[in-house]
Amino acid sequence: MMNYEHFMWITGVVVPLLVVGFSIWWKVESKQDRKIDSMSKENNHAHKNLHEKIDKVRDKVEDIWKHLVKHKD
């Protein structure tokens, strides 16, 4: 049967291990969250630039199409 001394010894070992484990988990999670936020900002900027380039190409294609239709007649 477990007496008070065994209980305190086990508690003294398990509680610090749980605290260390939780703090390691917390550090990893917060680092992942910061990385995800950073990637989201970078991708948002890159996505905006990509759409600007697509719009420029679309405008050029439209100008070429108008020119071809104009000279076809």
> Residue 42's domain spans which residues?
20-73
d(CA 50, CA 55): 9
Q: How many domains does the chain have?
A: 1
Task: Tell whether 15 is covered by a domain.
Answer: no
Task: Tell whether 5 is covered by a domain.
Answer: no
Judge whether residue 51 has pLDDT over 70. Answer: yes
Q: Where are the alpha helices (DSSP H) in the chain?
A: 4-72
Global confidence as pTM: 0.50
Task: Tell whether 6 is covered by a domain.
Answer: no
Mean pLDDT of 10-30: 94
Task: Tell whether 46 is covered by a domain.
Answer: yes
Residue 69 pLDDT class (50, 70, 90 cuts): confident
The pair of three-digit structure tokens given for residue 58, joined into one six-digit string? 């679309």
The pair of three-digit structure tokens given for residue 26, joined into one six-digit string? 């917390």
Among the listed residues 50, 71, 68, 48, the one whose alpha carbon sits nearest the alpha carbon of residue 60: 68
